[in-house]
Each structure stands twice: as C-alpha cells, then as structure tokens.
Amino acid sequence: MERATAWNARATVPAKPPCTLLVPASLEEFLRWRYRQHGPVIAYLAFLLGRASIYRDQGRLPGVERVTRRYQAENRSLQRWHVRVPGELWTQLRCLAGASGVTMSHMFVILVELDQEDQDTGRNDGAPTFWGAKVSFLEGVGYADGVTRRKIRYITTPEAPPRLLRLIRGRARPLRLR
C-alpha cells in the first residue's frame, strides 16, 4: 500500500538575499548599457523574467533533458556580479531555471543573451512588458520508469506588483521599463 506525505512551508525572509550571478565577460558591456536604461540589476531581472513567457512561447528557452542542472561553459571567463535580489524575483528565477534544466546563473545569462539578440535584430520591439504574478514549479520522478519530469506554471500580468515595485525602487532614480 502506497503512502503519501506532503507539507507546506512559507518563506518570506530574507526579503533581499545576497546573490552572486556569474556573467560572461563578453556580456558585461551590454549589461552596463541596459543598466543605464533599466536601473539596477534587479530592475533588469524583473524585466527579463517578464519576457520569459514570451521567450518560452517562441521556443527560445532551453529544455534540458537531464536529471542534473546544466552549468555554463567553463571557458567563458565568468565574472562575479554581487546583487541583492528580492525574494520574489529570486524564486521566479529559480523556478524558471529548474523547469529549463539549467542553473540560476545560467538562466540569467540565457535571458540576457536573448534580450541582446532582440536588441540586435529589433525583434519584439514595442512588445508589452509583463510581470510575473505567480509561478509554480514541480519536479518529480516516477520510480517505476526512472524519468524525471518538470512542470512550470508561469502566470504574467501587465500590472507590476506594488510590493515588488517598492523593493526595486529603493533607489534615487525612477524606474524605467523600456
């Protein structure tokens, strides 16, 4: 007879944990350019996460068929970027990365590269900006067949969550989304 055990947990702290993103040196100039447009890395990350559903619909996000997460290539001269990311954005990035089968830093780099590609080609110009409203991620394994399955449900909205805006706007410059 099978037995199921389940539990719930609620996490809200720390509100802005210290995080380290590993960014290839070749992307640093583009990130600095986007910084001048969007503001701090967390505002840009919120923009990128809002674009993630569009990238997924276009089939541009990876779907790694591995049990473990795929890391970035070692020969990319990775630079450490230390940031404090609001917990909501960190969780969205974690879920998106998990569903795609890559690490969180790798997912950030993939999103930046897709944005850079869009800027170079003019793709998605004038497309609306979306915000993550709710994200759910489930990863499971069926012991009978040994297959790991990942599912993500990512709900977006054109309206920015007020609490997240307050966390992002904790700075002097106004937040610009475009």
Specify the number of domains making up the chain: 1
Task: Note whether residue 134 is domain-resident.
Answer: yes
Identify the pLDDT of residue 127.
66
Identify the pLDDT of residue 74.
79
Q: Treating both helix axes as pointing N-terminal to C-terminal, what angle do 104-121 and 87-100 enclose, rounded to 10 degrees?
A: 90
- As to burial, measured by CB atoms within 10 angstroms (0-12 exposed, 13-18 middle, 19+ buried), residue 155 is exposed
Identify the pLDDT of residue 170.
63
C-alpha torsion sign, points 51, 56, 59, 65: positive
Range of the domain at 138: 19-168
Q: How many CA atoms lie within 13 A of 77 on its CB side?
A: 4
Task: Note whether residue 70 is domain-resident.
Answer: yes
Task: Note whether residue 4 is domain-resident.
Answer: no
Identify the pLDDT of residue 172.
43
pLDDT in tens, the chain (178 residues): 788 888 888 888 888 889 999 999 999 999 999 988 888 888 899 889 988 888 988 899 998 888 888 888 877 799 999 999 988 899 999 999 999 999 999 999 999 999 999 998 887 666 667 888 888 899 999 999 999 999 988 888 888 888 778 777 764 455 455 4
Peptide bond into 14 cis (omega under 30): yes
d(CA 80, CA 126): 32
Which phi and psi angles does 122 have, rounded to 5°? 80, 10
What is the residue-wise DSSP string for 55-87? HHHTT-S-----SSPBPPPGGG-EEEEEEE--H
Task: Note whether residue 80 is domain-resident.
Answer: yes
Task: Note whether residue 14 is domain-resident.
Answer: no
Task: Note whether residue 12 is domain-resident.
Answer: no
pTM summary value: 0.85
Identify the pLDDT of residue 102.
95
Task: Note whether residue 3 is domain-resident.
Answer: no
Task: Note whether residue 178 is domain-resident.
Answer: no
d(CA 1, CA 106): 41
